[in-house]
Structure 1
Amino acid sequence: MVDRLNDKVALVSGGASGIGLAIAKKFVDEGAQVALGDINAESGEKVAAELGENAMFVTLDVTKEEMWEQAFKDVIAKFGKVNVVVNNAGIGDQYNVENMPLDYWNKIVAINGTGMFLGTKHGVRNIKNYGGGSIINMCSIEGLVGESFAVGYDFTKGGVRLMTKSAALYCAEEKLNIRVNTIHPGYIHTPMVDPSPDLVKLEESKTPMGHLGEPEDIANLAVFLASDESKFSTGSEFVADGGYTAQ
């Protein structure tokens, strides 16, 4: 434990698994108090219990504004404030522009787009009351470059990238002392990827370093952005992709 996040209180959406879980664990290790927000209550409550007294679980469907409002109330009631929001919850797709069903398009836009907006909106509204802090929006390399087989994911992640810049400028102009940045992971070992050996092999072949990243690689970036070490970074993009976007 290095205690880089002492006195920080964070809300991490999608915190019950994958990258969100790695971030929550790393934050606790670094001295933060963390609320894991997720629709999977069984996993979320189990993880929070394992992390101990500095963690809690809140049920959170990121597409529902009232659930964001309640989540912040619950976190503040338990930990007294909130300094950091990590908007991590999201879903992917494997559709091209010609075969994307409208119902799935609407679903991915609601979760990856509206959910990210609501987390940022209510993050700003709450963090400004406690002296400022950091909002970290989980984007993707596909917020920087396109893939032919992920039209909905590309659309939402591109939107997240620019929405984050807008929010960062607003917070700076209003002197709210809130930094808003994006993290852009490349191909990472997660529960959505690892069950498919063919997908892992494909993603490895696309990554110049020849292997996928680990959730901890992204968690380490999140620690930096949550800490005061990143006090001059806002509206910026932080990429960890094994060289993918250097091509």
Structure 2
Amino acid sequence: MFLGTRALLPILARSGRGAIVNVASIRGIVGGVNATAYCASKGAVRLFTKAVALECAALRNGVRVNSVHPGLIDTPLAAAALADPETAARRMAALPMARAGRADEIAAAILFAVGDAARYMTGAEIVIDGGTIAQ
């Protein structure tokens, strides 16, 4: 993420417009048991995004920088973690929407963030977690 931003930012700045969307996690906003390093790394993505957004705004270079924070998403990694039916039932019961999110739901948020409809949005966090951190 850092290297990608460092490589892409000068190109976007020269064009006078553009958007970067970093994918973090809700674990970058709230902690989780047995996930210290993961939470720390996603929290770093969160604040890196905000810092770059403010730097771009101060430079008036037209580049917007935002982050997306998914909760539990139905991916192969999540499927492995939820392979045990008892664990899966407990995890779903803890989700306000009682289901895992889908990859296309995350993709839709990213498409919004890079599009013209979000042209006044920078340094923002888009949380897509089925209500998990609203509890």
| Structure 2 unaligned blocks of 5 or more | none
Q: What residue in structure 2 maps to residue 210 of structure 1? A: 98
Q: What residue in structure 1 maps to residue 55 of structure 2? A: 170
The structure in which a higher percent of residues are helix is 2
What is the TM-score when the length of structure 1 is the normalising length? 0.51
Structure 2 matches for 1:14-25, cutoff 5 A? none
Structure 2 matches for 1:29-44, cutoff 5 A? none
What is the TM-score when the length of structure 2 is the normalising length? 0.92
Is residue 168–residue 179 contact of structure 1 (8 Å, CA) maintained in 2? Answer: yes
Q: Tell me the CA shift for residue 207 of structure 1.
A: 1.1
Per the alignment, in what secondary structure is the counterpart of residue 195 of structure 1? Answer: helix
Q: What residue in structure 1 maps to residue 16 of structure 2? A: 131
- Within the candidate set 105, 109, 112, 1:221 is matched to 109
Structure 2 matches for 1:52-201, cutoff 5 A? 116-196=1-81, 197-198=83-84, 200-201=88-89
Q: What residue in structure 2 maps to residue 9 of structure 1? A: none
Percent of aligned pairs with the same amino acid: 40
Shift >4 Å, 4+ stretches: none
Q: Tell me the CA shift for residue 148 of structure 1.
A: 1.5
Q: Which one scores higher on RCO, CA 8 angstroms, separation ≥ 6?
A: 2
Per the alignment, in what secondary structure is the counterpart of residue 194 of structure 1? Answer: helix
Q: Distance in 2 between matches of 1:124 and 1:205?
A: 42
Q: CA RMSD in A?
A: 1.3
Counterpart residue identity of residue 96, structure 2: P
How many pairs were matched up? 132
| Structure 1 unaligned blocks of 5 or more | 1-115
Per the alignment, in what secondary structure is the counterpart of residue 19 of structure 2? Answer: strand
